[in-house]
Amino acid sequence: MKYVAPWWLPGGNSQTIWAALRSGRYLGDAPIFRRARWVAPDDDFVDVDFAQHASAADAPLLVVFHGLEGSSASHYAEAFAGVARSRGWACAVPHFRGCSGELNRAPRAYHSGDFEEIDWILRRFRRQHAGPVVAVGVSLGGNALMRWAGEMGAEAASVVTAVASVCSPLDLAASGMAIGQGFNRQVYTRMFLRTMVPKALKKLDQHPGLFDRQALLAARDLYAFDNIFTAPLHGFEDADDYWARASAKPHLQHVAVPALALNALNDPFVPAGSLPGAADVSPFVTLWQPAQGGHVGFPSAPAGCAAFPGNVRVMPEAVTAFLAAQL
């Protein structure tokens, strides 16, 4: 992927923030989603939003796994839905538990390495869709998706035709440390905790005694939050154990389905030095590591469009073109 940021967005933070808040997401009308509620294997639920545009019954289905605290309303989800519409593909956005606007019921939430959750969701899509299934995971969702692909090995090809991760923290410890420092701590960490902490407290109301309320209220970074909430609720000893075992990077050598890992080298909280190189991945994995783009940013002003405010279509168009080439 060749990407050059607009001259008026010179750094990773500006490319990240502007893309999320100001750039255009789609051409024409906004994507419209229809929600379906799926019962999970543990009798909890997952809400899946299906884009309501025309597509043939046997057209490819693009499954978009969102990032931390994301949803079908995230800028990248709407952008991917718009690109799917332009290709005549179906598109669906499954929500990780607690991210659809309604708190899930079980004494758990979601986490970066939940490949079991990815597995049953993708297998259900495979059973009910007549055409090929391709999947893209963004940020946290991409790590979980790649973790699944590595875990499944050759079996993944019976479920999906191809997968892609976008700006994913494939080394969770490196990214967790980066987001907890300096500007990242003051801006991105605070943004995430602003929604994560209240949801965790509601989970405690559902299941009294699940964790230490005062310890959670004292959390000021994602390490502390994961140490108190995410790790113990999902079977990990602590945040260090969670970040080590849930990271997809050590499993990329076992991927046996066409896969793309796209990471900008100036991503504010996915350090370039933590990204996989050719020796870290199987021959099925393609690495795209452009110099610019930020974190799920890639704002652009294509020919024929006004240079300001730009849009975020260039990344989903490139990723979807990769997936299309595998069909």
Question: Angle at CA 103, nearest 5°, toward 106 and 167?
Answer: 95
DSSP single-letter state for residue 250: G
**Amino acid (1-letter code) at residue 190:** R
3-state secondary structure 177-243: HHHCCHHHHHHHHHHHHHHHHHHHHHHHHHCCCCCCHHHHHCCCCHHHHHHHHHHHHCCCCCHHHHH
Q: Is 63 helix (H, G, I), strand (E, B) or coil?
A: strand
**Catalytic residue numbers?**
139, 267, 295
Q: Rounded distance, CA 57 to CA 29, Å?
A: 22
Report the candidate in 325, 324, 318 with the shortest Cα–Cα distance to residue 88: 324
